[in-house]
């Protein structure tokens, strides 16, 4: 395996590519122009792709189907999601889960309970009214009580907001921070930008971290998180990209491109 990796370093046509989904391939289900063609060109050039997302509103099965509806070639196994990371990390535990119902099928091996929990798990918000029910005062108070009784706090991510076709919407990071403050505890993040999430992505590819590009729209979650794990980074000017966030970022991407449509040509120019 070591010989194989060394050989790949000398092959400029091949690298590992981690692609964020929301904001890179689509916004609110509307595909980014040129995304399908770009992913096809990268595969044809020999790049190995993996799709990494903090999406917490779809099961992997349904999200993979949605991505394929954009014209993107994708096997379910190439899509890495945070609910699957939670199922691995919390296997065998009793869990109070404040998550969207659609992801429950991916929480296999976890015992979902309403009280007496070993862990409290917070997912992300959705654009619909289901968010009001999941993160109601009653449910957050129930989570607080479980934490007071000794349960550990986990979250699929702690994003502050995400970009939708209606504009920026508040995400569940606010609720995570609120429970941390009230219960005087610290949440374990299971999705990006956690090192464990990026480690799983790297393990699925045939490359060392320095041979893998993370392509995302979030300078904090995607870029800083990937850079901390030793990955190369590209920021796209779509999704939740904001110029002021880039200017203020302490960790800068190695490149900024207009969208995923520009990625194949950018990679070609690096040969």
> What pLDDT, in 10s, does the model give residues 231-253?
999 999 999 999 999 999 999 99
| pLDDT at residue 52, as a whole number | 97
| pLDDT at residue 11, as a whole number | 46
Output b/e per residue, 166-178; b: 16+ Cβ within 10 A: eeeeebbbebbee
| For residue 13, pLDDT beyond 80 | no
| For residue 92, pLDDT beyond 70 | yes
Question: Domain 83-189 sits in which CATH superfamily?
Answer: HAD superfamily/HAD-like (3.40.50.1000)
Q: What is the DSSP letter of 220?
A: I
d(CA 40, CA 21): 15
| pLDDT at residue 81, as a whole number | 96
Q: Which two structure tokens, joined as six digits, stand for 263?
A: 């990625």
| pLDDT at residue 206, as a whole number | 84
pLDDT in tens, 62-85: 999 999 999 999 999 999 999 999
Fold of the domain built from segment(s) 2-54+195-269: Rossmann fold (3.40.50)
- Using an 8 Å Cβ cutoff, are 233 and 19 in contact? no
From-to residues of CATH 3.40.50.1000 in the chain:
2-54+195-269, 83-189
| For residue 210, pLDDT beyond 70 | yes
| pLDDT at residue 14, as a whole number | 63
| pLDDT at residue 3, as a whole number | 27
């Amino acid at each position: 395996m070591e010989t194989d990796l060394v050989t790949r370093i000398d092959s400029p046509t091949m690298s590992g590519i981690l692609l964020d989904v929301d904001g890179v391939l689509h916004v609110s289900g509307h595909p980014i122009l040129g995304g399908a063609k770009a992913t096809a060109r990268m595969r044809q050039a020999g790049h190995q792709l993996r799709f990494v997302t903090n999406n917490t509103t779809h099961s992997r099965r349904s999200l993979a189907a949605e991505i394929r509806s954009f014209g993107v070639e994708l096997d379910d196994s190439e899509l890495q999601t945070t609910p699957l990371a939670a199922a691995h990390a919390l296997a065998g535990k009793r869990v109070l889960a404040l998550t969207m119902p659609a992801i429950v099928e991916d929480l296999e091996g976890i015992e979902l309970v309403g009280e007496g929990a070993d862990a409290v798990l917070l997912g992300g918000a959705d654009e619909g009214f289901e968010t009001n029910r999941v993160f109601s005062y009653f449910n957050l108070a129930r989570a607080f009580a479980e934490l007071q009784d000794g349960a550990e706090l986990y979250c699929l991510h702690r994003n502050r907001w995400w970009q939708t076709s209606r504009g920026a919407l508040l995400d569940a990071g606010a609720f995570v921070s609120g429970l941390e403050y009230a219960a005087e505890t610290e949440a374990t993040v299971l999705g990006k930008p956690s090192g464990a999430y990026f480690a799983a992505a790297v393990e699925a590819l045939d490359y060392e971290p320095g041979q893998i590009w993370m392509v995302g729209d979030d300078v904090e979650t995607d870029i800083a998180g990937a850079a901390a794990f030793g990955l190369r980074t590209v920021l796209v000017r779509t999704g939740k990209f904001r110029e002021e966030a880039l200017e203020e970022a302490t960790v800068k991407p190695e490149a900024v491109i207009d969208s995923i449509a520009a990625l194949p040509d950018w990679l070609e120019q690096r040969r």
